[in-house]
Amino acid sequence: MSAETGSAAPVLAATDLVIEYSTRNGPIRSLDQATLTVGSGQIVALVGESGSGKSTLGMATGRLLASNAVYAGGLLSVAGRPVYGPGAQGGEGLRALRREVLAFVFQNPVAALNPTMRIRRQMELAGPAGREARDGSSAAEALGEVGLTDVPRVLRSYPHELSGGMAQRVGIAMALRRRPRLLIADEPTAAVDATLRAQILNLLVSQCRDQGCALLLLTHDLHAVAQHTEQIAVMYGGRMVEHGPTAEVLGRPMHPYTRALVAALPGEERPGRRLEAIGGVPPVLHAGCPGCAFAPRCPDALPNCRDVRPADAAVAGRTLTCHLHPGEIGDPSAAPNDAGRPRATEAGRRHLDKEQEAAR
C-alpha cells in the first residue's frame, strides 16, 4: 500500500481486506480478501447479491461496522489515511476522517435522520462550523440545490413529516454539505417510489460530479448502474470477481457470475424465453474460501475451481478473478484471437461458442 496521502492517493484503497462477524455459531466471513480502488472523482458501482459483502465494505470505510465485526487482515485506507491495518486511524484522527473526507447516504432515508430534531437543526449540525452553521440561508440553499421546492416547510419539518423522496433529498444535501472527497451510497433508492429512483440517482451523480466527489454506489439495480456509473465492481463471496468500465462489463461480461447477473436482469431475456435465475444460493463463509466461492453454482467450473483460489488477472482492460481467464496483459494467453476476443481456457472457449450459437 502506498504511503501517499492527500489528493495524490486513491480516495479509497482496499487490499486483501478480511472482515468477519462473531456469532453464536462461530465467525461469519463477510469480506474475504476484498480488493478495490476508487480514484478521486470516480463514479463506481459495487454490485452483487445480498450477502456478498457490499455493505460491509461500505461501512468499513468509516469504521462504522457493527460491534460484532472483527478485522482479520488486509489493508484499507481512505484518502491515504489508514483505516484498517498498520497505522490505522483512531480517536480524533478517525473522527476527522469521517468529518472531512467521508459522507454516507443510506437505504432508509427517514430512519437515517434524527426523529427528534427538525430538519433545520440537522442541516446545521451537518454543515460547516462557525457562523455559516448558524445561518439558515446556507441550509436553505443546500436543500434548493437538491431540487426541494417548499424549503421553509422542509426546514420546519420533522423527518416523519417528509415523504421518502423528500427525506432522501435531505440526506443527500446533508451528506454533501461539507464537500466530502468520497460519498458511500448504500442502496439509496431502495425506499423510494419507482418513479423517483431515476431522479434520485441523477441528482446524486450530478451533485457528486459538480463537487468533484467520488461516489461508491452499492446497489442491486444494474439498469441504474449502466446509466450512471463509469466503473463497476462485481462482488461475490466477499471478493471482487470482475472490475472494469461499466459499459464493457455489462455489455460483454466475462466472469460466470457477472454473466449470470446480467442474464437474470428483467428485460434481458430473449423473446419467448424466461429469465435465467441463478441456481443455488450465495455462500455463508466461516473461513476463507479455498477456491472460487462461485464454483458450486458455476456451469463452467473447472476441476480446480473448488480447491485452488484464482488470482486476479488483467484481461481486456478489466480485472478478473477466474480460472477461465488466467492471462495477464502482456502474456500471450491474454492476446486477442482472430475474433478480437481475449483467449481463455478450453472451458472459456466452450462458453464463447455457446454464446455464438445462442446469438444465431
pLDDT at 296 over 70: yes
pLDDT at 135 over 70: no
pLDDT at 7 over 80: no
Q: What is the pLDDT of residues 15-43, one digit of tens each?
A: 999 999 999 999 999 999 999 999 999 99
Q: How far is residue 5 from each of residues 182, 248, 283, measured CA to CA in Å?
A: 14, 31, 36
Q: What is the pLDDT of residues 33-80, one digit of tens each?
A: 999 999 999 999 999 999 999 999 999 999 999 999 999 999 999 999
What pLDDT score was predicted for residue 270?
A: 67
pTM of the predicted structure, to 2 decimals:
0.85
Could you give the CA distance from residue 167 to residue 165 in angstroms, rounded to a whole number?
5
Phi and psi torsions of 85, nearest 5°: 110, -170
What is Dmax (Cα atoms) for the chain? 67
Q: What is the pLDDT of residues 168-203, one digit of tens each?
A: 999 999 999 989 999 999 999 887 777 788 888 999
pLDDT at 152 over 70: yes
Sheet strands side by side (includes 26-38): 26-38, 12-23, 69-78, 81-84
pLDDT at 340 over 90: no
What pLDDT score was predicted for residue 137?
A: 56
Cell of 6: 492527500
| Least reliable range by pLDDT among 71-85, 89-103, 343-357 | 343-357
Domain ranges of the chain: 12-265+281-320
The arithmetic mean of pLDDT across residues 237-247, rounded, is 96
Q: What is the pLDDT of residues 266-283, one digit of tens each?
A: 766 667 677 778 888 899
Q: How is domain 12-265+281-320 classified at the CATH fold level?
A: Rossmann fold (3.40.50)
